[in-house]
Amino acid sequence: MLDIRQIPVLNDNYVYLVRETETGSTAVVDPAVAAPVLAEADRLGWKITHILNTHHHGDHVGGNIEIQSVTGCHIVGPRADRDRIPGIQTEVGDGDVYRFGAAEAQVFDVPGHTRGHIAYWFAADDALFCGDTLFALGCGRVFEGTHPQMWHSLGKLRALPDSARVFCAHEYTQANARFALSVDSANGALKERAARIDAARAKGEPTVPSRLGEEKATNPFLRADDPDLAAALGLTGASAAEVFSEVRTRKDNF
């Protein structure tokens, strides 16, 4: 149902054009800037009808007003952060279902990186747009929330099917892999994935989207309740929240 195009912008951001093929309705997810998004939509012959924001940071909403002024599109964003989303017209939050065209997204509140962060899950297309909460082999820095809050938010996303495609907002994967190996060096699946990531980046290929099943097996931020990871960190018997906090703190200082 969804035709998804990835637009690299700025240094390492990804913006997504998401076209619902039945009606032609087209959403932009987290437009950092306007010009390349408008140019790609024009090249494809797609009319932008919606903007879906995950959180308020400028590299996710910077293109909102210009895109809206050119296209007349409708801006959707987190209810918990409505005062910081430029041009917001529809507010959504945990448990809501948002529809554009014939597409349907379940909305999750996933605070931690920011107080009002949300994610959009299009179950029919195995497509998760998670902004800066979950990255390929990483998670967002905790700016406005707490470590236990972020661990809880990640748990909501981890509960989705292994087949979910993780459309995160940054190409951080190679750096994330280097860190992951520093805390989980015995993980064979991680070692193999890191090698594939290095090969892809050497050819200039994106590493996003990833599959959630692979994240569950290799992303240390999703494995804080795994006894093997806790043992590797010298935290045998610690709570998952404590292990997550240690992993996040180490990444902040890596």
Q: Which residues are catalytic?
A: 55, 57, 59-60, 113, 132, 170
Distance in angstroms (rounded) separating the CA atoms of residues 29 and 168 = 10
Strands 138-139 and 134-135: antiparallel
Structure tokens at 159: 């509960």
DSSP string computed for 45-87? TPPEEEEE-S---HHHHTTHHHHHHHH-PEEEEEGGGGGGSTT
Q: Which are the contacts of 123, defined by CB distance < 8 A and separation ≥ 6? A: 104, 106
Give the H or E element holding residue 238.
Answer: none
| Residue 195 one-letter amino acid | A
Enter the DSSP assignment of 237: T
